[in-house]
Amino acid sequence: MEWRDTVETQSRVGGADNSLLLFNHHQAVGWSIHRGEQALQITTQTDYTFHGAGVLVGQDFVLEGQGRRHATHLLAPEGLLLGSFAADTSEAEAHLTAAGIVIPVHQIRSDTLDIINR
């Protein structure tokens, strides 16, 4: 089974207006064994764009970019999360508008969550 969804969020953090648009593709891969118990493996690929604008240290700035995230989630038969792993790469540009400066930003991130006692 697979499905797709789109999520759009907007927030204001530290005086900056931010928006994030996520395009998710989920797939239930199948059952496996995780730490000795049955687990449903669900993978998600997310392509996203983001935009933020505000004032930092008296300077107007704009930050915009895009990225891709791959995640694997393991669920127990009753729906409880057993663990997950995700890797994310994004590219962005920070524009300091008054100074005419553009700063390239490249970010790589990975996260692992393993529920040991439940």
CA dihedral in degrees (56, 60, 65, 71; nearest 10)? 20
**More confidently predicted of 117 and 51:** 51
| Residue 118 confidence class, pLDDT cut points 50, 70, 90 | low
Using CA of residue 53, residue 55, residue 56, residue 60, what is the dihedral sign? positive
Q: What is the pLDDT of residues 21-34, one digit of tens each?
A: 999 999 999 999 99
Beta bridge partners of 43: 27, 72
Q: Of 1, 40, 48, which is closest to residue 24 (Cα–Cα)?
A: 48
Q: Is the pLDDT of residue 115 over 70?
A: yes
The stretch 68-79 carries a mean pLDDT of 96
Q: Which residues, at least 6 apart from 12, have a Cβ–Cβ distance to it below 8 Å? A: 18
The reported pLDDT for the residue numbered 57 is 79
Instruction: Print the domain residue range for 33.
Output: 2-114
Task: State the average pLDDT for the chain.
Answer: 94
Distance CA 63, CA 68 (A): 17
Q: Is the pLDDT of residue 11 over 90?
A: yes
Q: What is the pLDDT of residues 80-110, one digit of tens each?
A: 999 999 999 999 999 998 889 999 999 999 9
Task: Return the CA Rg of the chain.
Answer: 18
Cβ atoms of 24 and 46 within 8 Å: the answer is: yes
What is the number of structural domains in the chain? 1
